[in-house]
Chains A and B, each alone.
Chain A
């Protein structure tokens, strides 16, 4: 009984703290503001990844970067930070005019649709060398 009371109290405390966190305006609406910032995030995500080409989502919620070895990294927003994955195929890639939808094969990482403007087409094409699909 005591343990149930303790767990019930903990649930209330957790919800109260999460509510307080939101009400206090903590966390921020993070965006990639520049190519330099995208390159820094990529280097932090994978030691030795040195971007030679990149494209930013026009709202700054993600980016695609390529290094000299031809590896392609997807950066996407996660909470108040960014998470990265190297793309190993283009099976989940879908192009719709300026919008390129990308997946990583990881259900929990999810898909993201990037507004890449006029670069969307060329990046979609360039992902084909990764193999794994025919729909980009």
Chain B
């Protein structure tokens, strides 16, 4: 029964691949990286690791606390690992989708999107506040089904490692069969883009089939220049601001909002406001479609 975190063993590989991508960038696309941005992303990654260590006890206790209430005992068969990995990726899809559609979770996840660059260091730009955002809740059904917490943590680690490599512009397209099933650099570039056509698309972790199944898939378009980041770019490399700016925004909005609207600033989509004075992904997309003379899709 493995009781180690596979991510720990992948970190040297992450460092090596970032270095290799920098060498590629120097030869092919020097603006892929920027020192201040890279330092911010990597420091966010380190902070995320520390935050993970601090909250690991709580999460582990919760998973083990629920495990006695499982429906069945699945055990350690080979197929159980496979099934757990697939279902964990499905759970990740829904977590990720909610992380873009519920501001409370977005306040944590926005950290990963706040770079205007898209490279392997961006993959390590991770949140410090994931536990506060309650993202772990999406994995709890796996415990209740009967997968052992160790198996879930292991599969989650492998999932996270898989998600590292596709944060790159160095790879244009993978073979067609691979693009059809798996998440790839092309699919995930779309996810990190702020172009209206790309907003809130491609939430998948490992298997892009979830987006195809649930209607959130968007392929990368030829001839469309991608711009990365968030719709209101931070304009700052201040580490604390990167980590907490959206939480600060929530607090400010809830404080100033009328009583009937306060909760809306927590659970509604990012950009929502009670007086409709701000933009959500949906309103940006609708405006973009209107400018193109197209009706919004139902």
Q: Do A and B bind each other?
A: yes
Whether A17 contacts B233 in the complex (CB less than 8 A), given A3-B53, A26-B34, A80-B117, comes out as no
* A48 nearest CB neighbor, chain B only: B287
Find residues 22-44 in chain A having any chain B CB closer than 8 Å to their own CB.
22, 24-28, 30, 44
* A44 nearest CB neighbor, chain B only: B227
Chain A residues with CB under 8 A of B22: 17, 20-21, 24, 26
* B229 nearest CB neighbor, chain A only: A81
Q: How many residues of A contact B (CB 8 A)?
A: 34
* A80 nearest CB neighbor, chain B only: B34
Chain A CB within 8 A of B291 CB? yes
Chain B CB within 8 A of A129 CB? no
If A80-B37, A81-B229 are given as contacts, then 14 extra A-B residue pairs at C-beta distance below 8 Å, sorted by A number, are A10-B49, A17-B15, A17-B19, A18-B38, A27-B33, A27-B37, A28-B30, A28-B31, A79-B116, A80-B34, A83-B234, A106-B235, A108-B236, A109-B235
Contact B30 A108 (CB under 8 A): no
Size class of the contact patch on chain B: 35 or more
Whether A14 contacts B43 in the complex (CB less than 8 A), given A25-B30, A27-B35, comes out as yes
Contact A10 B46 (CB under 8 A): yes
Contact B50 A7 (CB under 8 A): yes
- Classify the interface of chain B: helix, strand, loop or mixed: helix
Chain A CB within 8 A of B8 CB? yes
Contact B39 A26 (CB under 8 A): no
Contact B46 A7 (CB under 8 A): yes
Whether A80 contacts B38 in the complex (CB less than 8 A), given A10-B11, A14-B43, A108-B238, comes out as no
Chain A CB within 8 A of B288 CB? yes
Contact with A along B271-287 (1 / 0, CB 8 A): 00000000100001001
Q: 8 closest Cβ contacts across the A-B interface?
A: A27-B34, A83-B235, A26-B33, A83-B233, A80-B34, A18-B39, A81-B116, A14-B42
Find residues 77-110 in chain A having any chain B CB closer than 8 Å to their own CB.
78-81, 83-85, 106, 108-110
Chain B residues with CB under 8 A of A17: 15, 18-19, 22, 38, 42, 121
- Some 28 contacts from A to B, beta carbons below 8 A apart, are A13-B15, A17-B121, A18-B39, A21-B39, A24-B26, A26-B22, A26-B30, A26-B31, A44-B195, A44-B227, A47-B291, A76-B235, A78-B116, A78-B234, A78-B235, A78-B236, A79-B37, A81-B117, A81-B229, A81-B233, A83-B116, A83-B234, A83-B235, A106-B235, A108-B241, A108-B245, A109-B235, A110-B235
